[in-house]
A and B are shown apart, each in its own frame.
Chain A
């Protein structure tokens, strides 16, 4: 196994929880059931152990070795409650898998029932369910990586593959006002798109920071939301954020670092420090803010690419 795969397994062990690797719809048995009936159940359901449940509470567990034991001693007609294991180790839904691995398979614990807060059985984990989940996750992560590689390859060739005198790609994103849960999603998509188009990390970061600040401005300061237009050409990238919100009274004032009209709840979330436009200006080559009270606001941000275009080393920078 390659080193990379080992670290992926390790990562999964650390981040997955019991609920991700357990089998739900667990078969349980009543304490009064005979061992012969349990044997029959195990045969037909192809299982090797089953929790014993009275009312809603787990009182023990009976495994195939208990059944063999009963068979040898001629106790198959005795009820489960007399032959089950009562000292049962259990886990909860949010136990980490790394914790689970420490207990599973040790001291004869071939399976661990998963209990909720009231002691009710909600699932079961065995080495089998664990292995299956890990393999599925590995497969999914591999496919995701391959898919991303393919998408990157396709997108990065778009300027070569499409013939025209001047090709441009226009991306449009709608941003809702006061929608904090989704705030930043447009910027996340723009960042991802630029990476797929083959842009280098320094340029990606400059654009991402600028467009994120601009998106937060739409969320925080407009009462109607707005839109973000990204135009990518072979030699430049232009961002325009447009809203039909309240507009800005004093343009000089809002450009002052530290000036802010953000309400308290925005500040509590770590925003509204009055650094947004300063950050945008710092990251971009040209920034232009146009606004009038009652007539909305438009912010244009321009990034110029250096030799090599979008995928070049980072672009032409203005002198500061």
Chain B
């Protein structure tokens, strides 16, 4: 699934496009807990979240996440936009709730991580 497919499936709006919209996204995840993002983030992944503060982008960047989707049509503050432009992360906003955004992507074939234990090592 490409970033372009994700935008289409979620009826999303591109807030920041930091790269190639045809880049492949290997898997997805969702969290409002930044520690969770750091625990399960993998390279190139898409993250669904309800938080819009700039730390979401920095956390995503550290975890290797390439695309962040803000659910429920949230628009992030300008600091978040700037952080994404600096670190090369694509930001998308969708009207769907977290549950439905995830459901639609999963149904369209985008996998998650499978069961994750706290001591698991993903690197």
Which residues of A does B touch, CB under 8 Å? 7, 10-11, 14-15, 180-181, 183-185, 187-188, 191, 201-203, 205-206, 208-209, 212-213, 257, 269-271, 273-276, 278-279, 282-283, 314, 317, 320
Contact = CB atoms under 8 A, between A and B. Distances in A.
A188 B61 contact: yes
Contacts of B39: 275, 279, 282
Contacts of A202: 123
Taking chain A's interface residues, is the majority helix, strand, or loop, or is none over half, making it mixed?
helix
B33 interface: yes
Contacts of B33: 270, 273, 275
Contacts of A282: 39, 118-121
Task: Find the residue from A187, A212, A320 having the highest chain B CB count within 10 A.
Answer: A212
Contact of A191 (B22, B41, B62, B119): B62
A293 B43 CA distance: 39
A179 B100 CA distance: 34
B97 interface: no
A271 B87 contact: no
B108 interface: no
A183 B58 contact: yes
A319 B31 CA distance: 28
A274 B118 CA distance: 12
A26 to B, nearest CB: 25
A205 B43 contact: yes
B79 to A, nearest CB: 7
B110 interface: no
A14 B56 CA distance: 22
A314 B118 contact: no
Contacts of B118: 257, 275, 278, 282
Given A15-B16, A320-B119, A184 B62 contact: yes
Contact of A269 (B15, B55, B64, B123): B55
B35 A271 contact: yes
A195 to B, nearest CB: 11
A191 B61 CA distance: 9
B121 A10 contact: no
Contacts of B56: 270
B64 A201 contact: yes
Nearest to A275: B35
A270 B14 contact: no
Which 6 A-B pairs rank lowest in CB-CB distance, beginning with the nearest?
A: A184-B58, A275-B35, A270-B34, A208-B62, A212-B62, A11-B17
B8 interface: no
B68 interface: no
Nearest to B57: A184
Given A14-B14, A209-B38, A212-B58, A270 B51 contact: yes
A20 to B, nearest CB: 12
Contacts of B64: 201, 205, 208
Contacts of B62: 184, 187-188, 191, 205, 208-209, 212
B59 A212 contact: yes
Nearest to A203: B123
Interface in B11-57: 14-22, 31-36, 38-39, 41, 43, 49, 51, 53-56
B63 interface: yes
A80 B122 CA distance: 70
Given A212-B38, A279-B38, 13 more contacts: A184-B59, A187-B58, A187-B62, A188-B87, A205-B43, A205-B62, A205-B63, A208-B62, A269-B51, A270-B53, A270-B55, A282-B120, A282-B121
B121 A317 contact: yes
Contact of A7 (B20, B34, B36, B87): B20
B58 A11 contact: no
A279 B49 CA distance: 20
A127 B107 CA distance: 42
